[in-house]
Structure 1
Amino acid sequence: MTAKARKKFRSRIAEAAYETASGLNRIGLIDARTMREFDAACLTTIEPLTGKQILALRGREGVFARVLNAKPKLVSEWERSETKPSGSSLKLFSIAKAHGHAAIS
């Protein structure tokens, strides 16, 4: 897998299963629908978070603005539900929620 296409997996076993399925997909033995099922089963999912969830995650896991490469004011706005994280910030929160702070730092 190239660095450009790097994915975050739930576990090493999930990564191995996904790599096997990807190979089978490339040679035509697994269809696109089945690969989408593997995506759902193996990859870390991105879920929208409420301000309270972000605050609890930050407190529990120590996810800080510098790790997310965001200004402290923006993180505060997320925690107060004034704005919502999106893109890479939301993905990093999802990874931290699933695997802990060490997975993103």
Structure 2
Amino acid sequence: MAKTRSRSDASEAIHSAASGLHRANVIDKKTMREYDELCIEEVPEFNAKDIARIRKGVNVSQNVFALYLNTTVSTVRQWEQGDKKPSGIAARLLQLIQKNGLAIFG
């Protein structure tokens, strides 16, 4: 299972306990979703300047950045011009690159 990003260590412990209770059928899906909303960190939002700053901070071209993010150069360009916003996994990857650089790709 993929590791989720918790709001804090306490949230991670609470979510882990709730997940165990859910697997044991002690709490239902609806309650588990409530724990997810309370404990798991929201996907960050990035504006055009943020994205360009992140890319330039790791010193790569839009072409190379697109390859790392498994997207097109056109998409990266649209993000950096503010025509589109990354969401979901792309936003999470940008968050990780911002924090750890390209080393996360190992």
Instruction: Name the count of aligned residue pairs.
Output: 100
| 1:70 alignment partner, SS class | coil
Q: How do 1:1-105 residues align onto structure 2 when only pairs under 5 Å count?
A: 1=1, 6-10=2-6, 13=9, 15=12, 17-32=14-29, 34-60=31-57, 64-97=65-98, 99-101=99-101, 104-105=104-105
3-state DSSP of counterpart to 2:89: helix
Q: What amino acid does structure 1 have at the position aligned with 2:75?
A: L
Q: Percent identity of the aligned residues?
A: 35
Contact 2:5 2:40 in 1 (8 A): yes
For 1:61 and 1:36, the matched residues in 2 are separated by: 36
So what's the TM-score if we normalise by structure 1?
Answer: 0.61
Residue type matched to 1:68 in 2?
L
Larger Rg: 2
Residue 51 to residue 17, structure 1, CA distance change in 2 (3 Å): same
RMSD: 3.4
Judged with a 3 Å threshold, the aligned counterparts in structure 2 of structure 1 residues 70 and 48 are, in CA distance, closer, same or farther, namely same
SS of match in other structure, 2:46: coil
Uncovered stretches (5+) of structure 2, i.e. residues with no partner: none
8 Å Cα contact 2:43-2:88 kept in structure 1: no
Structure 2 length normalisation: TM-score?
0.61
